[in-house]
């Protein structure tokens, strides 16, 4: 078992945000074939982005939290629920707890904004990962970027 030293933080400065986008491009566009024009959206400007970085500064993963009006379309319009999305971990960092640490960082950011729950749209192959972190699936399967997804929620 590798013990990779990394930290997870809110991406505040432009370099951190750029690192988030680099990870998303590698994972979603490069590995999963998501068209680049739908990977980035208007919500990137208002989201809270979290970033996992190795001690030498190499980005390992990212995720984002939408809240308020920006999250409404994904949470049924409930202003007390945030939306976790764009969770991506680089191939080299998978299996090391980076994804779980990013989810917890998003939940922490949600709590800090007074939210009571977090919703997400999980690729069906990732349902077990989110279930282990306390998320419950609800509603039917649906396609997103050509891949099957399910809605999930965790009450904070």
Interatomic CA distance for residues 23 and 8, integer angstroms: 14
Interatomic CA distance for residues 111 and 80, integer angstroms: 10
Interatomic CA distance for residues 156 and 78, integer angstroms: 14
CB 52 within 8 A of CB 11: no
Neighbours of 81 (CB within 10 A): 22
| φ, ψ (nearest 5 deg) of residue 31 | -80, -40
- Percent of the chain past pLDDT 90, that is, above it, reads 88
- Confidence band of 75 (pLDDT split at 50, 70, 90): confident
Q: How far is CA 124 from the centre of its chain?
A: 15
Mean pLDDT of 1-29: 90
CB 136 within 8 A of CB 151: no
pLDDT of residue 3: 58
pLDDT of residue 30: 96
pLDDT at 2 over 60: no
Minimal CA–CA distance to 50: which of 31, 23, 29?
A: 23
């Amino acid at each position: 078992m590798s013990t990779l030293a990394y930290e997870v933080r809110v991406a505040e400065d432009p370099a951190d945000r750029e690192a988030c986008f680099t990870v998303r491009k590698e994972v979603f566009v490069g590995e999963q074939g998501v068209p680049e024009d739908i990977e980035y959206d208007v919500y990137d400007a208002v989201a809270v982005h979290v970033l996992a970085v190795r001690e030498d500064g190499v980005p390992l993963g990212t995720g984002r939290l939408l809240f308020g009006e920006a999250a409404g379309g994904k949470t049924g319009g409930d202003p007390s629920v945030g939306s976790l999305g764009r969770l991506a971990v680089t191939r080299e960092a998978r299996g090391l707890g980076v994804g779980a640490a990013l989810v917890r960082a998003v939940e922490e950011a949600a709590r800090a904004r007074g939210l009571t729950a977090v919703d997400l749209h999980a690729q069906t192959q990732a349902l077990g990962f989110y279930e282990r972190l306390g998320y419950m699936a609800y509603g039917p399967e649906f396609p997103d970027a050509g891949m099957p997804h399910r809605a999930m929620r965790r009450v904070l």
